[in-house]
Structure 1
């Protein structure tokens, strides 16, 4: 097992970890806001947030190209500021993984927050606790199981992302080639030994994560 074998594994874990950080932060904050606020168009907004869950990954990749590609407004601004386009970079792989994994974290966090007894939160406010302290010491501990499940499922989803990553980040060995894209290339080239090894690794990781989620329930 040389460096070319380990590279997609390491890159996949790094990409999934970076994407997880993004979806945990935004997933928890947005889920908290959506679970407590009554706003017009809430159902429409939530549908947009959950859309990557049902869209084909290639459609997600296409939309990311339209939004952040070189010919887009945002993409051109990023290229002018950084000196390089965001497509076909490690950052592009992280963005693709984060977009498809976000609904997992959001839905789990929202479910957890809705299960919290609002009377406990109100009692803390009556005792003088700020909204931040109520969230940190009451809401989060009472919804921890749902949040942990969301973290595990989001990481597993980010780890297995293929279509959006291939379209938006490409398949550059040592740079954007994750395990799913490496498996695809190995299969297409007839390198079944490498394909099976990568499949075994990603299946083992996914199995452990799903088993952990089940044990938490």
Structure 2
């Protein structure tokens, strides 16, 4: 019985490793390179990036100096400054990343998902109303909380979530994510601003609204069905 139990545990552990989003590294670091033919930098392809020979790594491979205030002068009133493997090449294979989110008063980081990472967020300044929506399996329950300076909240991997500044001044938050490249899908952009666009007939039926409403929303994201002759 103990042998069977041990076998099951080992299989479970093996499966968890096999299906991990960012595999655990088997070396100290694996600094990513974009130019695989640069002198002396020939490397191997690991977890989405080529790696340079560790002998050619240096401190700036693990450094990012641009995490200052973001420009919130836009329609959403927010700015996300991401620090992923694309910004710090030394993050390659390390399974983490970071983002700073700046909010103007009433600013919104609109509903979005990270397909490859769980997010944990801490409020540095201001007051945020945050939430995420569970999957269909859990009846699309909405979990919300008002966060104040020093508060922390978690958004599970792949679930739609948002943050809004509900204070009277600016707000700032830092988010850590469990992937070197968690990705982001902003729901409104993906649905109404896809290229080429999703058929307005499909969207009208999905949202149970008139096609004219869909056409209006698609136009807000730069596409005009009537001008482009795609009014279905």
- Which has the higher relative contact order, 1 or 2, with Cα contacts under 8 A spaced 6 or more apart? 1
Pairwise TM-score range, normalised by the shorter structure? under 0.3
- Compare the two structures and name the one with the higher helix fraction: 1
TM-score by length of structure 2 reads 0.22
TM-score (norm 1): 0.23
Larger Rg: 2
